[in-house]
Chains A and B, each alone.
Chain A
Amino acid sequence: MSTATHVPRVHAPRNYLNADYGWKSWLFTLDHKRIALLYLVSITFFFVVGGFFAMLMRIQLIEPSGAIVQPETYNKLFTLHGIIMVFFFLIPSIPAVLGNFLVPLMIGARDLAFPKLNLLSWYIYILGGMFTLYSALAGGVDTGWTFYTPYSSLYSNTQVTAVAIGVFITGFSSILTGLNFIVTIHKMRAPGLTWFRLPLFIWAMYATSVIMVLGTPVLAITLFLLALEHLLHVGIFSPSLGGDPLLFQHLFWFYSHPAVYIMILPAMGVVSEIIACFSRKRIFGYKIVCFSTIAIAVLGFFVWGHHMFVTGQSIYEGLIFSLLSFLVAIPSAIKVFNWTATLYKGSISYDAPMLYALGFIGLFTMGGLTGLFLASLATDVHLNGTYFVVAHFHYIMVGGAVMGYLGGLHFWWPKITGRKYPNGWAMIAAAVIFIGFNLTFFPQFVLGYLGMPRRYAFYPAEFQVLNVMSSAGATVMGVGYLIPLIYLIWSMRYGPPAEENPWGATGLEWKTASPPPTDNFKEIPIVTEEAYAYAPEEASGD
């Protein structure tokens, strides 16, 4: 740990943080960087709330007949954990925090295309969050985050409408962010910055935004119809009036499957940036990675029925979805190969961002491979509705997306705050999180394979050892998440000031001050070199 330096504000050069003071300058800001920080605070809050629900669940599951919560309450816990983590943490996380901050900087622009829409996005997100928190406090929701009908629409007497409204509203935050990014990346790149000179993080943001824009509206209409059914007791999705519950599921998963690519593509973009920087090498097969990114975004829309293999949908439909689900694994695998090839003969350093990126590659690969078990019709019959599925998606969402998010935060923290954090503690935290994560979720693969169903408050006694391991792991992981919370906040006041480019990375964001001035660059840069132009003698071939 280096000596803490407290830099008095009055001597710091003019940047976006000290450009203006007072709550109005934050709540009415149009600066994309300040909006990114507004998001950072809000999503951290929701992460804690969602994590709190998870903690209660894991405590309940220590005993086969746990007495911590009633089964009805347990249903509400896993529902709200899912809703908050998916809609209020994972989906906004990297795009709204890192994307908002970095997209204009990385493309050499002074702001996003529509700064007012950007601020509106955040307010919409907060409004949606308030509806959801209200529903949690006013009795909760017990339908599962998937809201399957007719239970959610006709039978559940929990706050379904309130939470449907909350998620509906927040969807627009997503849509506006995606719209902003697509238009900005098309229209506001610096001179000389052609598409194939863009950082892979920008490609990832672009692909993610396409998914946000095409998928989220379908969730919106689905929730609208669900609320209509719940309020008026009519039968759009219920057999009692000739409705089909599977119609709800088709419409719901049309969005919610691509949603998982909204959660993972940004993390993949972050990983590309970090791997390149900490191997001092160009990303191997840059163009292929670009096309793979777009392929994942597009193919991701063709596979939603793999969530419905055992629901009674047409077998032929299931066949199509199974085949396409196998196909969508290919571009992801290509990326893993390309990152690995980048590492080969690279000059590798193991700073905290790199630890997260390496962790991502391993854990995402495991999560992705287990997805193939689920994509296969026959094995899915056995594994669907068990802890195998839970483990699979947590490997990708937590082992993948959250690691990517933390890695990105650590990589760009000096740029965002102008301060460095203690690398030793950061490396310890990364290790603790990695160990805690695997201890939590690996046993769940075994549990699922052995047949333990998901969303159950009780389980047969023979599963206890694995459940206790999982709960222990969750505690370790929770501690692991607390450590960065502490030192990152500490660094904002006591961390040593960061120079323009502390990691020696390529990219336009590193060619301006840390933290950047409000309008990003003294002069808009002109781009003449390829992305990842790391020193040629350290790179051995492509």
Chain B
Amino acid sequence: MAHHVVPQKTYVMVFLSLLVLTALTTGVAFIDLGPFNTVAALAIAFCKMSLVVYFFMHLRQSKGLVRIVALAGFFWFALLMGLTLNDYHTRNWTPTPQPWSVTAPPTHP
């Protein structure tokens, strides 16, 4: 945690950046970019989150342990989402077994 005091100006600059990014993400939503609308929205959200975490939450001045803890949180969230959604993603990779034909008897050579 910061024992050195962060200047007020830094915080205000971060705040203004966050406002700009909010305006940006709102504006982009009104333009048709197809699938990239989602990509852009998430990318901007990630930037905003990073600003908040790094500056407002003092991760910039934090000890290594705190950073590892924060990273572990995101990694575990990614694990939950990734491995769960992988099920749905790969469900139709294997063909569904068809029922055996009951009318045609097996032919022998």
Contact = CB atoms under 8 A, between A and B. Distances in A.
A330 interface: no
Interface of B: 65, 72, 76, 79-80, 83-84, 86-91, 93-94
Contacts of B89: 314
A313 to B, nearest CB: 5
B90 A302 contact: no
Interface string A294-329: 000000011001000000011111001000000000
Interface in A262-315: 301-302, 305, 313-315
Sorted from nearest, which 4 A-B pairs have the closest CB atoms? Answer: A314-B90, A316-B90, A314-B91, A317-B87
Interface residues of A, number: 18
B93 A314 contact: yes
Interface stretch (A39-47, A103-111, A246-254): A246-254
A314 B83 contact: no
A301 B79 contact: yes
B84 A316 contact: no
Given A254-B80, A301-B79, A302-B79, A315 B87 contact: no
A315 B94 contact: yes
A244 B88 CA distance: 10
A254 B84 CA distance: 9
A314 B94 contact: yes
B94 A316 contact: yes
Contacts of B93: 314-316
Contact of B87 (A186, A214, A246): A246
A348 interface: no
Contacts, number: 41
Nearest to A214: B76
A446 interface: no
Given A314-B94, A316-B94, A250 B84 contact: yes
Interface string A439-482: 00000000000000000000000000000000000000000000
12 contacts: A244-B88, A254-B80, A254-B84, A301-B79, A302-B83, A313-B87, A314-B86, A314-B91, A315-B94, A316-B93, A316-B94, A317-B83
A250 B79 CA distance: 12
A186 B66 CA distance: 11
Output the residue of A247, A254, A314, A315 with the most chain B CB within 10 A.
Answer: A314
A109 to B, nearest CB: 18
Contact of B91 (A186, A305, A313): A313
A317 B86 contact: yes
Contacts of A250: 84, 87
Interface string A210-234: 0000100010000000000000000
Interface of A: 186, 214, 218, 244, 246-247, 250-251, 254, 301-302, 305, 313-317, 320
Contacts of A315: 90, 93-94
A315 B97 CA distance: 12
Contact of A218 (B80, B83, B90): B80
B77 to A, nearest CB: 9
A302 B86 CA distance: 13
Contacts of B84: 247, 250-251, 254
Given A186-B65, A314-B93, A301 B76 contact: yes
A403 B94 CA distance: 44
A313 B91 CA distance: 7
Contacts of B90: 314-317
Nearest to A304: B83
A186 B68 CA distance: 13
B80 to A, nearest CB: 6
B39 to A, nearest CB: 24
A254 B81 CA distance: 10
| Interface-central residue, B72, B76, B93, by most chain A CB under 10 Å | B76
Contacts of B88: 244, 314
A370 B14 CA distance: 56
Nearest to B72: A214
A342 to B, nearest CB: 32
A315 B91 CA distance: 7
B82 to A, nearest CB: 11
A244 B89 CA distance: 14
A251 B83 CA distance: 11
A302 B83 CA distance: 8
A244 B84 CA distance: 12
B78 to A, nearest CB: 12
Most buried by A among B72, B79, B83, B86: B83
Contacts of B87: 246, 250, 305, 313-314, 317
Nearest to B89: A314
A23 to B, nearest CB: 38
A302 B90 CA distance: 17
A112 to B, nearest CB: 18
Nearest to A182: B69
Nearest to B94: A315
A426 B80 CA distance: 45
Nearest to B87: A317
Given A246-B87, A314-B90, A317-B90, 8 more contacts: A186-B65, A250-B84, A301-B79, A314-B88, A315-B90, A316-B86, A316-B90, A316-B94
B73 to A, nearest CB: 8
A301 B89 CA distance: 20
B3 to A, nearest CB: 16
Nearest to B91: A314
B97 to A, nearest CB: 11
Contacts of A247: 84
A55 to B, nearest CB: 38
A438 B8 CA distance: 68
Contacts of A186: 65
A471 B109 CA distance: 55
B88 to A, nearest CB: 8
